[in-house]
Amino acid sequence: MLTLPVVLALGLITAPAHAKGKRKGKKKDDGIGLRLKVGTDLASVDRYQTEYDGKEVDGADTRITGLSLFESGSRLEATYSFMKNAEAGLILGYSQARGTQGDAEIPVGRHTALGLTGAYNVGLGNGFQAFAQPILMLDSTITDASEETELKVRYTMVGADVGVRWKAAKRITLDLSVEGLVGRGKATQNGESDAKLKLKYRTAGLRTGLTVKL
């Protein structure tokens, strides 16, 4: 995963420069600045439900339990602290996969996550900081099933993270949080959808992340 070492390197590069500037100007860090965060699931329970014409589809209820470390549910967050304890910004995530099986092509699959987020931070002392983070996100998966057929599933999700940051180094923190999201979605084929088909999604679990304050 390339994003993680890039974010970590930025933190290691900017920390000495920040410390040098502080010695020269004797300026106290007021908490204002850009924060980059790479986050991932530690443990999660996902549930997918399908309804048609107001009734749950038999046999379509899916429950998935997962454990991972910087492998599942990865995303990049970029937030700006507009005051000492509050920040706002974006969630970004994208992946694409394609390949071949024998002489046949495996359909191209693309996943995109784009959202709004923020955080309210409270210092706990001894290098620890509590935070609460609201999330509003669009999550879409597109599969080119054939040259003539494109399948798309899109969810609108809302939820929050509540957790603790630990100061691992100058301007670098490690985060641990509990996250919960609920969402509703729809499926389309070549831009057409069935209004009677409704998709539901719920997830809860533990997440971890590495943040760098620039």
Tens of pLDDT along 77-86? 999 998 888 9
Averaged pLDDT, 62-89: 90
Averaged pLDDT, 195-206: 95
Return the pLDDT at 181: 97
- pTM for the model: 0.82
Residue 206: phi, psi to the nearest 5?
-105, 140
> Above 90 in pLDDT, residue 117?
yes
pLDDT in tens, 139-167: 999 998 777 889 999 999 999 999 999 99
Distance CA(153)–CA(113), nearest Å, equals 12
Q: What is the rounded (10 degree) CA torsion for 53, 57, 61, 62?
A: -90
